[in-house]
Amino acid sequence: MWFYIPTALLAASSLVSLSQARTLFKYERIQLTHEHLETLPAEDAKLFAFDAQAAPNTTASRCRYGPDDGKWPSAKAWTKFQKQLSSEDALIKAVPQASVCYGASKNDAKCQNLTKNWTNSYTHIDDPTEILSPIYQGLTCQPPSIYDSGNCTLGGSPTYVVKAKNVLDIQLGLNFARNNGVRLVVKNTGHDFAGKSTGAGALSLWTHGFKDIQFFDNYVDESGYRGPAIKAGAGIQAFELYKAANDHGVVVIAGEGQTVGVMGGYILGGGHSPLGSLYGMAADHVLGFEVVTPFGDFVSANSTSNPDLFWALRGGGGGSFGIVTSVTVKAYKDMPITAASWTLSSAKIGNDKFWSAVRAFADNFISYADSGIYTYFVILPNGNDFTFSIQPFFAPNRTASAVASILQSYSSKLTALNVPFSPKITEYKSFYSAWQAEFPLEALSDVRTALGSRLFPRSNFASETGRNVTFAALRGAVETGHPVIAFNIAPTLARAGNPDNAVNPAWRTSVLHAITTQSWEISASAVNITNARRAFTNGTMQKWRDVTPNSGSYLNEADRLEPNWQQSFWGDKYARLLSIKNEMDPNDVLWVNNGVGSEGWRVETKDGLPSENGQLCKDIQKAAAS
Ligand SMILES: Cc1cc2nc3c(=O)[nH]c(=O)nc-3n(C[C@H](O)[C@H](O)[C@H](O)COP(=O)(O)OP(=O)(O)OC[C@H]3O[C@@H](n4cnc5c(N)ncnc54)[C@H](O)[C@@H]3O)c2cc1C
Ligand SMILES: *[C@@H]1O[C@H](CO)[C@@H](O)[C@H](O)[C@H]1NC(C)=O
Ligand SMILES: *[C@@H]1O[C@H](CO)[C@@H](O)[C@H](O)[C@H]1NC(C)=O
Ligand SMILES: *[C@@H]1O[C@H](CO)[C@@H](O)[C@H](O)[C@H]1NC(C)=O
Ligand SMILES: *[C@@H]1O[C@H](CO)[C@@H](O)[C@H](O)[C@H]1NC(C)=O
Ligand SMILES: *[C@@H]1O[C@H](CO)[C@@H](O)[C@H](O)[C@H]1NC(C)=O
Ligand SMILES: *[C@@H]1O[C@H](CO)[C@@H](O)[C@H](O)[C@H]1NC(C)=O
Ligand SMILES: *[C@@H]1O[C@H](CO)[C@@H](O)[C@H](O)[C@H]1NC(C)=O
Ligand SMILES: *[C@@H]1O[C@H](CO)[C@@H](O)[C@H](O)[C@H]1NC(C)=O
Ligand SMILES: *[C@@H]1O[C@H](CO)[C@@H](O)[C@H](O)[C@H]1NC(C)=O
């Protein structure tokens, strides 16, 4: 049962290049209306009502209700909810995939098949329940050969999932969760490294099915933009977006990972890109969003409509300000790309030469990034040996010979060190062909590893003293067993066209985004893990913070335990973000760990480990302190 908004409000798609009216996808025209609610019996209308007043008495209950609480919606209420959805199969009772490996549902053949495919990210992205960072689900149902969960339980997985087919489904789910005190989460692909797309006892709204995509060859925006643009559904992934752009001879600013949900958490958190040293962050290129607000309303957020929300959605983080159903972004003329890759190994050249050779590359971070180049590289420890792998040095709009000359001074240094250097240099005629060839399919996150990251300002690399100190901190991490997975990139405001948005200001002065990880033994106890994580967050990562005071960390690739995260993720933009959040979502309907306005609540886990495997409750200590 659903309703269409009056056709007068719809932009005919044939008018797209001239019209400034709201262009909605078909699935965005199917909406919940006040008129429809009026046709329902009062008791049912209350379940789905829009207004904030309908929210549960927030002082009455300390926690969001769980399925075992007396206050969880009745089976009858869930059935009513299911009937209101655009189709009955849109409501899914969550079942962990690896339930075929345990207890009553055990099926050895199915479990074996699943285990074989487990690390393939598609296995989880295309599943309603799973996420790609299983430690934050609580590891309560993994294939036993990967991690023995003992029993299969839902753990930090949601209880129900709405496989959303249209805006109506999102609005109903959001209103139903809000009005009934049920925790709400939003999952797109499940890539979030901190587990922010899952939650125990939650109703999960799954946006993966919003796959429409539309190209505008001459989009006209009241803010002054005229040019190519792409409007893409929130479920669109990088491999789909890049292909669509390529089909029209343009490029868009998106990430390196093939399956990342570009128009969900990625762009809402900022979004760094192989084109980032040329064009800035992905969020810098957004023309507008269509979004369901925490009150349940479906609105446009762009430079003239809901401008505060528009500002906040561009960098303020996913799952906080609203549920986005589509995003319109600028597109640019395609360009040739040259990519270079090489690997150095300390086992071949010895440690001293190895570190000198890595240092020689780092000495050029500023000049490479200012030449528009993006480098994705890793420095991996392997016992007493190390490898440095460039995968790749990605030079937009450069020929192979231009790249060879940019690398000339580095190459000369290696020759002087007597280190053999023979990079593989490939010229591609388009961005798409380069991206396809150079970035492999990502795998599932490991079950015994956590990560953290830091943005390193250009000033760190501007003097020899700075380079010495900074390089020592990076090298120190690797020498103590922590891999460095990093991006030499400079998404400056000038490169981005000076946008005013909520992207972490630390990005604008950085030339390096470096990630590192902490692992523990598979058999480690909760206490062991807590100790390992403490040593990581307050030790290993502190050393990076010490050399980058006042900088920050990228919220989409950060430590779940990031200290002082408000400053770290948003710097001086936090105060404005918080005031927008308080206005948009006074009942904290949308809550994610370390998201804007998340301070009053936390997930209470039984083992004390950071995860989504516990009830979301008001943080008594924080509430008392404020
Ligand atoms: C293999 C891999 C490669 C990556 N590469 C890059 C990269 O090149 N550049 C980069 O910047 N980042 C990269 N990332 C990080 C990536 O940006 C984040 O994981 C991001 O959160 C993914 O968004 P998602 O929607 O796909 O994931 P999800 O986990 O589904 O969602 C992430 C967060 O956004 C929220 N959210 C999702 N959809 C919506 C929506 N429609 N409306 C509102 N909130 C929503 C969720 O609630 C959650 O809080 C990578 C991650 C991985 C695992
Ligand atoms: C913003 O959205 C509104 C409503 O959809 C639309 O009328 C307006 O033209 C849009 N503004 C811009 C700058 O795109
Ligand atoms: C909310 O709940 C508290 C505690 O149960 C109660 O004192 C208060 O009157 C309630 N407020 C409303 C508006 O119902
Ligand atoms: C296991 O996978 C194979 C290959 O995809 C398939 O043929 C087989 O039917 C699967 N078995 C089960 C029990 O799902
Ligand atoms: C693994 O997944 C792929 C699809 O991603 C599927 O084609 C294949 O059959 C699966 N293999 C097994 C053994 O289940
Ligand atoms: C499985 O769960 C049951 C019921 O909660 C519990 O009694 C049992 O000890 C669990 N088994 C394992 C191996 O964890
Ligand atoms: C790419 O190079 C061409 C030729 O040098 C230049 O005209 C164009 O502006 C460049 N494009 C970008 C995005 O820098
Ligand atoms: C940087 O480190 C090198 C090697 O340790 C040293 O020779 C040099 O003096 C240092 N430079 C500065 C400015 O500290
Ligand atoms: C856990 O910590 C204890 C006490 O420090 C230690 O003895 C034990 O080896 C650790 N176990 C693992 C698996 O790390
Ligand atoms: C780091 O130290 C601070 C201050 O002592 C403490 O509050 C915090 O919990 C520690 N972080 C971790 C991950 O242990």
pLDDT digits (tens, 9 = 90+) for 510-554: 999 999 999 999 999 999 999 999 999 999 999 999 999 999 999
Residues 308 and 439 in one domain: no
From ligand 2's centre to the CA of 107, what distance in Å?
A: 53
Is there an atom of ligand 5 within 6 Å of 582 CB?
no
Q: Which residue has the tokens 């329902």?
A: 40
Domain for residue 435, yes or no?
A: yes
Residues 320 and 341 in one domain: no
Angle at 274 between CA 389 and CA 467, to 5 degrees: 55
Query: What are the helix (H) ranges across 234-350?
Result: 238-247, 267-268, 276-279, 307-313, 346-349
Is there an atom of ligand 5 within 6 Å of 122 CB?
yes
Domain for residue 439, yes or no?
A: yes
Q: How many structural domains comprise the chain?
A: 3
Residues 272 and 350 in one domain: no
Element (H, E) at 533: helix 526-535
* Residue 275 pLDDT: 98
* Residue 78 pLDDT: 98
Query: What are the helix (H) ranges across 319-371?
Result: 346-349, 351-362, 365-370
Domain for residue 303, yes or no?
A: yes
Position 2 pLDDT exceeds 60: no
Which residues constitute the domain of residue 465?
Answer: 337-565
Residues 312 and 399 in one domain: no
Q: Which residue has the tokens 């190994």?
A: 345
Domain for residue 525, yes or no?
A: yes
Position 578 pLDDT exceeds 50: yes
Residues 597 and 558 in one domain: no
* Residue 58 pLDDT: 56
User: Can you tell me the mean pLDDT for 488-503?
Assistant: 98
Q: Which of the listed residues 276, 305, 333 is the one where a domain comes to its end? A: 333
Mean pLDDT, the chain, rounded, equals 94
Residues 466 and 374 in one domain: yes
From ligand 4's centre to the CA of 130, what distance in Å?
A: 20
* Residue 51 pLDDT: 78
Closest ligand 8 atom to residue 464 Cα is 13
Lowest mean pLDDT among 173-177, 378-382, 440-444: 440-444
User: Can you tell me the mean pLDDT for 236-257?
Assistant: 98
Indicate the residue type of 128.
P
Domain for residue 125, yes or no?
A: no
Angle at 247 between CA 242 and CA 253, to 5 degrees: 30
Q: Which residue has the tokens 């869930």?
A: 78
* Residue 284 pLDDT: 98
Q: Which of 370, 371, 261 is nearest to 323 (CA)?
A: 261
Q: Which of the listed residues 518, 543, 565 is the one where a domain comes to its end? A: 565
Domain for residue 192, yes or no?
A: no
Residues 306 and 409 in one domain: no
293-303: buried (b, 16+ CB within 10 Å) or exposed (e) per residue?
A: bbbbbbbbbbb
Residues 322 and 279 in one domain: yes
Q: Which of 156, 165, 540 is nearest to 381 (CA)?
A: 540
Is there an atom of ligand 9 within 6 Å of 480 CB?
no
Is there an atom of ligand 6 within 6 Å of 103 CB?
no
* Residue 54 pLDDT: 57
| Ligand sitting nearest the alpha carbon of 151 | 6
- 3-class DSSP assignment, residue 459: helix
Mutational test site, ligand 10, from 451, 536, 537, 542, max ligand atoms within 8 Å of CB = 537
From ligand 10's centre to the CA of 609, what distance in Å?
A: 13
Is there an atom of ligand 9 within 6 Å of 524 CB?
yes
Residues 255 and 382 in one domain: no
Which tokens hold the place of 10? Answer: 């719809």
Residues 274 and 417 in one domain: no
Q: Nearest C-alpha to atom 14 of ligand 10 is from which residue? A: 534
Cβ < 6 Å from ligand 8: which residues?
464-465, 468
Query: Confidence band (pLDDT; 50, 70, 90) for 383?
Result: confident
Mutational test site, ligand 4, from 99, 100, 101, 113, max ligand atoms within 8 Å of CB = 113
Domain for residue 75, yes or no?
A: no
251-289: buried (b, 16+ CB within 10 Å) or exposed (e) per residue?
A: bbbbbbbbbbbbbbbbbbbbbbbbbbbbbbbbbbbbbbb
Indicate the residue type of 211.
K
The sign of the CA dihedral 519, 525, 529, 531 is negative
Which tokens hold the place of 462? Answer: 């501007």
* Residue 306 pLDDT: 98
Is there an atom of ligand 5 within 6 Å of 112 CB?
no
Query: Confidence band (pLDDT; 50, 70, 90) for 59?
Result: low
Domain for residue 172, yes or no?
A: no
Which tokens hold the place of 312? Answer: 């906040």
Residues 305 and 366 in one domain: no
User: What percentage of the chain carries pLDDT values higher than 90?
Assistant: 91
From ligand 9's centre to the CA of 170, what distance in Å?
A: 46
* Residue 32 pLDDT: 97
